[in-house]
Structure 1
Amino acid sequence: MKLDESARGVFVIAPTPFHPDGRLDDASADRMTDFFLESGCDGLTVLGVMGEAPKLDGAEALGFAARIARRAGKAPVVVGVSAPGFAAMRALARGAMDAGAAGVMIAPPSHLRNDEAVLAYFRQAVEAIGEDVPWVLQDYPQLFQVQMPPALIRRIVSECPSCVMLKHEDWPGLEKISALRGFQKEGTLRPLSILCGNGGVFLDFEMERGADGAMTGYAFPDMLVDLVRLSAKGDREAAHDLFDAHLPMIRYELQPGVGLAVRKYVLMRRGVLASDAQRRPASALSAAARAEVEYLLGRLARRDPRAQLARAA
C-alpha cells in the first residue's frame, strides 16, 4: 500500500546495521525490523539522517531498502532518497517503490535560500521521481539550513499533490504545527500527515499541538509507541510521566556527533543489533560516555522495566 495523508502513529527511523569491518549486517537488519514491528511501530523509515545513507553506494542503498520492505510485509516503509542530483534520486525512488516501499522522503539541499527556489526544487523533484510516488517533505532547518515557514509548506503541499506527509523537525516548532493545523481548519491546506522528529525531544507537546505521531529514532521505540497512544486518547498525565522518565536518555541520545553511537549502543544492549558499529567516517563512544549511558539506563529502569538490561560485559 502506498503512503497517504492518513498515516499516523510511529514510523521509526531505522539505523543501518553494520559488521565491525563495515559490511552490511543482514541478520541484524532482519532482527531490527522484527523488533520495531513487535514494539508496535506503524511503519519504518530507512536511509534517513541517522541511517548513514551517504556511506552506502547506490546498489547497497537500494538493496537495504528492499530487504527492509520485504521483511516488514504489510507495514509501510518510507525510504530517504535525498541526493545531490535528480538522476540518483529517481533511481533510488523508483527502485524502492518497485521493491515494495510505501513512499519516499525528500529534504531540500542546503543551497536554497528563498521560497521560490525551494518551491521550484520540489516541483523538479516530483517531476524526477514521478507524480505517482507519494513523498514526505523533510523540514529540518538545523541540519539542512533551509527555512520553510508554514506558508511555504502550504504552497509546496498545494502545488505538489503527491506530497502526503510532513516530517516536522523545526526547533522550536510547536507554533508551526499549530499554524499548519490552523490552515486546515480554515480550509486553505488539504489534509496532511504530520510526524515529528528531533529524537522525540518535544513529542509530548507536539502531539498536543496536532501532530499525528513520530518519525524519529530512539533506542526505545516502544516508548514512543506508548506515548503517541496515550496522547491520542487524551491521557495527558500518563503521557507526560512516561516522557519525563525517558527525557534524560532522549537528551543524551540527541547529542550532535555521537547521538547515533549512543542509539546503536543501546540497541545492541537490547539485543537488537549484533554490533554498534558505524561505517567510517564514524564517531565512537568513549569509556566515559558508555559509563554515562549505563548510568542513565539504570536510572530509567527504576521507572520503565524495558531498561532493565543484563550488565554489560
Structure 2
Amino acid sequence: MLTSSAAGVFVICPTPFHDDGRLDLGSTDRMVEAFLAAGATGLTILGIMGEAPKLAADEAQSFAKQVISAVAGRVPVIVGVSAAGFAAMSALSRKVMDAGAAGVMIAPPAHLRTDDQIVSYYADAAEAVGRDTPFVIQDYPLVTNVVMTPHVIGRIIEQNSSCVMLKHEDWPGLDKITALRRASDSGQLRRVSILCGNGGLFLPFEMERGADGAMTGYAYPEMLVGVVNLMRQGKRREAHDLFDRHLPLVRYETQPGVGLSVRKYVLQRRGIIASAALRKPAPKLTPETIADIEWLMERIERPHEGA
C-alpha cells in the first residue's frame, strides 16, 4: 500500500496505442520495463497525460491490470480515478485496488469554487474509493481551475487519514511547498509525501523546498531519477547541471496541447513504445516540430566533450 513516506520518482505513464487507436498492451509491458530500468520508484497511470478521459471503462481497467501485472509488485502503482461522478470513481478504484494497485489519485472537478466545497469534495471522494484506500491529492490548478491553498490542503490531510500524498503541480508553487513543509516540520500538520509534476520543469528547486521527489512524465525519466538522487546526496551543482542539459526538451514537452505528442514521439524514437499515436482528437506533429525534437534529442544524447 502507498504510504506517506513514498519518495523518489513515480513516472507518469502515457497510454500506448496502436496507430489505429487500439490499446497496445505489448508496448505497455516494454514501457514498464524501461521505466523501472531508468530507476523509477513507482508508476502512475490514467492521469491527465495518460489520456484517461479518452478510454472506455473496460479499457481503463484492462490497461491498469496490464501495468500492475507487468510491475509484478516491484514498485507501487498509483491509478488516477478522477471522474465526473462518484459511482464511476468508486467502481474503478475497487477494480484496480483488487488488482494490486497501491493507491489512487483524485483531481478536483472544475466546478468547485470555495474552500469548504473543496474540503467536502475530498471527504466524499475518500468515502467513495474506500476509507482504507490510500489516495493522492492532485493539485493542478492550471488544468482543473481549482485553487487549493496550503490551508485547504492541510484541512484535507487532517480530515482524511487515507490521504498520504500531494501531487504538487501549482505554478508558481514553490512557496506552497515551503508552507506545507514548515507546517509539518513544526507539528502543525501531519506529514505526507509531496511529489511534483509539471513535467519536472522546476524539479531541483522543488527538491530544495522539501519535496520528496517527482511524479511526472518526461521522455528521459532517468534524468528525473538522477536529479532526485543527486539532490538527496547534497550534490546540488551536479543535479542542476544534469537538469540543465535536459531543460530545452523539458520546456518543449511542457507546451500546452502538443506536449504529449512530443513525449510520445521521443518514447517511440527510443524504442520504448511502438507508436507515437494519441487517441483522437489529438494534434499531429508537423515536419518542422519533428525536426526541432530530433535536434533536441541529438543534443541530449551527444557525448560530452572530454567524456
Q: State the TM-score, normalizing by the size of structure 2.
A: 0.98
Q: Which residue of 2 aligns with 1:37?
A: 36
Write out aligned runs for 1:183-194 (5 A): 183-194=183-194
Q: Which residue of 1 aligns with 2:70?
A: 71
Cα shift at 1:188 = 1.0
Write out aligned runs for 1:1-313 (5 A): 2-74=1-73, 75-302=75-302
Contact in 2 for aligned 1:195/1:213 (Cα 8 Å): yes
Distance 1:152 1:87, change over 3 A: same
SS class of match (2:33)? helix
Cα shift at 1:297 = 1.1
Give, in whole Å, the separation in 2 of the partners of 1:304 and 1:161.
48
Give, in whole Å, the separation in 1 of the partners of 2:106 and 2:7.
19
Give, in whole Å, the separation in 1 of the partners of 2:284 and 2:169.
25
Cα shift at 1:56 = 0.5
Distance 1:105 1:187, change over 3 A: same
Give, in whole Å, the separation in 2 of the partners of 1:81 and 1:112.
18
Contact in 2 for aligned 1:184/1:191 (Cα 8 Å): yes
Contact in 2 for aligned 1:245/1:303 (Cα 8 Å): no
Cα shift at 1:304 = 6.7
Cα shift at 1:73 = 1.4
Q: Which residue of 2 aligns with 1:309?
A: none
Cα shift at 1:301 = 2.2
How many residues align? The count is: 304
Q: Which residue of 2 aligns with 1:308?
A: none
Letter in 1 for 2:79: V
Give, in whole Å, the separation in 1 of the partners of 2:81 and 2:162.
15
Task: Write out per-residue CA displacement over residues 247-273 of structure 1, whole angstroms, 9 at most, x where no aligned residue.
Answer: 000000010011000000000000001
SS class of match (1:36)? helix
Letter in 2 for 1:253: E
SS class of match (1:215)? strand
Task: Write out per-residue CA displacement over residues 278-310 of structure 1, whole angstroms, 9 at most, x where no aligned residue.
Answer: 1111111110000000111122223679xxxxx
Runs (4+) of structure 1 moved beyond 6 Å? none
Give, in whole Å, the separation in 2 of the partners of 1:287 and 1:53.
28
Distance 1:56 1:304, change over 3 A: farther
Give, in whole Å, the separation in 1 of the partners of 2:92 and 2:40.
24
Contact in 2 for aligned 1:135/1:165 (Cα 8 Å): yes
Letter in 2 for 1:158: E
Letter in 2 for 1:251: R
Task: Write out per-residue CA displacement over residues 192-227 of structure 1, whole angstroms, 9 at most, x where no aligned residue.
Answer: 000000000000100011000000000000110011
SS class of match (2:17)? coil
Give, in whole Å, the separation in 2 of the partners of 1:125 and 1:184.
24
SS class of match (2:216)? coil
Distance 1:228 1:304, change over 3 A: farther
Contact in 2 for aligned 1:230/1:238 (Cα 8 Å): yes
SS class of match (2:184)? helix
Give, in whole Å, the separation in 2 of the partners of 1:303 and 1:146.
43
Please, which runs of 5 or more residues in structure 2 have no aligned partner? none
Two-structure CA RMSD over aligned residues (Å): 1.0
Task: Write out per-residue CA displacement over residues 173-204 of structure 1, whole angstroms, 9 at most, x where no aligned residue.
Answer: 11000000000121111120000000000001
Q: Identity of counterpart residues, as a percentage?
A: 61
Give, in whole Å, the separation in 2 of the partners of 1:88 and 1:50.
19
Give, in whole Å, the separation in 2 of the partners of 1:303 and 1:224.
19
Please, which runs of 5 or more residues in structure 1 have no aligned partner? 306-313
SS class of match (2:167)? strand
Q: Which residue of 2 aligns with 1:310?
A: none
SS class of match (1:104)? strand
Letter in 1 for 2:77: V
